[in-house]
Amino acid sequence: MRTNEILGRLRGSKKIILTHGNSDMDAIGSAYALKSCFEPADIWAPAGVDRVARMVADKLEIPILETADLKDYDLVVVVDTSSPDLLQTEGLTVPPDSLIIDHHAPTGKWEGMDFNCDESRTSCCEIVYDLITAAGIEMDRKTGLALLGGMLTDSGHFQFADSRMLRTFADILDKCQIPMDEALLLVRAPVSMSERSAALKAVGRSKFEKVGDMIVAVSYGSSFEAASCRALMASGADVVFVGSQRDEEFRVSARATQEMVRRGIKLDAIMGQLSKETTTDGGGHGGAAGMTGVGDAEAMIHMCMMKTMDEFRNIKKKMEAERDSPGSPGE
């Protein structure tokens, strides 16, 4: 979809901007930037927001609706959401011709919508910034901070950033006169005792397998999956999957080191393939992905481990073939 067509839809109409379940800062930052620059608009997170996004929303006084009726709006916009299933709200149906703005690998589940996706971008906030710039709109500091917060969190505080994201980040710092320490402090949340306990329990429950110098670890918990993933990676795992169970529904969070991504691990592809095989919903990025649905969390993380082991074996064979080929270093 062309930029001028997207801007034409955003201008003037009364909009509601939806975000995925347990919305992160990239989703909330994208939604707020659209709201502030293309009024009138409301933000609705139908299945809630995560801890960091809630903290930033409170700091910046970003209004987020708890309930809404889509019929009251001229246009529905969905940001940072690769599938309608990720809205995680029973009975919620996004109307045809809604506008979707995303940066995840397409799942094919937004058929009939005006779909605008650039999976090469590290964050959805970058795409929204490009739209604001193309519209010739001057952002205020609050909008700039919201966009910076989304870029910071989705890039793992620059660990997964590329040069294009860094240039965009610096451009916002300059335009909005925001010092770097203010941007960093915005998304810095104190680690609660509950989060620390969950991470430690996840390490204690973990299982791992290895192929060559590559380790995949899995664990199971009841909350704080992202923190548990970080703890397992800090313990030495290259790829991790952490699952949680809520009644009949499960959620799996996955992370991989950048070295594994460079070698060929693509968590979005692993999750996407499994979601097709199990009629669940999964996707994300090469180094960070997730999956949700009805099923058994422990069975799902086992399947994730098996898929990753297959990828490890393929990588090992490729590395051995490259090492043994004529003209390789050492020959």
Q: Do residues 153 and 15 both lie within one domain?
A: yes
- Show the tokens assigned to 225: 């999956």
C-alpha–C-alpha distance, residues 244 and 251, integer Å:
5
Q: What is the pLDDT of residues 124-167, one digit of tens each?
A: 999 999 999 999 999 999 999 999 999 999 998 998 899 999 99
Q: Do residues 118 and 134 both lie within one domain?
A: yes
Put the strands of the sheet holding 281-284 in their side by side order: 207-211, 214-221, 239-246, 249-256, 288-294, 281-284
C-alpha–C-alpha distance, residues 40 and 273, integer Å:
39
The CATH number of the domain where 155 resides is what? 3.90.1640.10
Owner of token pair 């006084």: 61
Which of 169, 186, 203 is where one domain is finished? 186
Which of 186, 221, 236 is where one domain is finished? 186
Q: What is the pLDDT of residues 237-269, one digit of tens each?
A: 999 999 999 888 898 999 999 899 999 999 989
Measured N-to-C along each axis, helices 163-176 and 141-154 cross at an angle, to the nearest 10 degrees, of 160
Q: Do residues 47 and 114 both lie within one domain?
A: yes
Q: Do residues 160 and 210 both lie within one domain?
A: no
Q: Do residues 250 and 149 both lie within one domain?
A: no
In a domain, 314, yes or no: yes
Which of 186, 210, 227 is where one domain is finished? 186
In a domain, 330, yes or no: no
Full residue range of the structural domain in which residue 164 is found: 3-186
Total number of domains constituting the chain: 2
Q: What is the pLDDT of residues 31-74, one digit of tens each?
A: 999 999 999 999 999 999 998 999 999 999 999 999 999 999 99
In a domain, 100, yes or no: yes
C-alpha–C-alpha distance, residues 177 and 255, integer Å:
33
In a domain, 329, yes or no: no
In eight-state DSSP terms, residue 40 is: S
Q: What is the pLDDT of residues 64-103, one digit of tens each?
A: 999 999 999 999 999 999 999 889 888 899 999 999 999 9
What mean pLDDT, rounded, does the chain reach?
92
In a domain, 244, yes or no: yes
C-alpha–C-alpha distance, residues 210 and 181, integer Å:
40
Residue 252 and residue 85 in contact, taking contact as beta carbons nearer than 8 Å: no
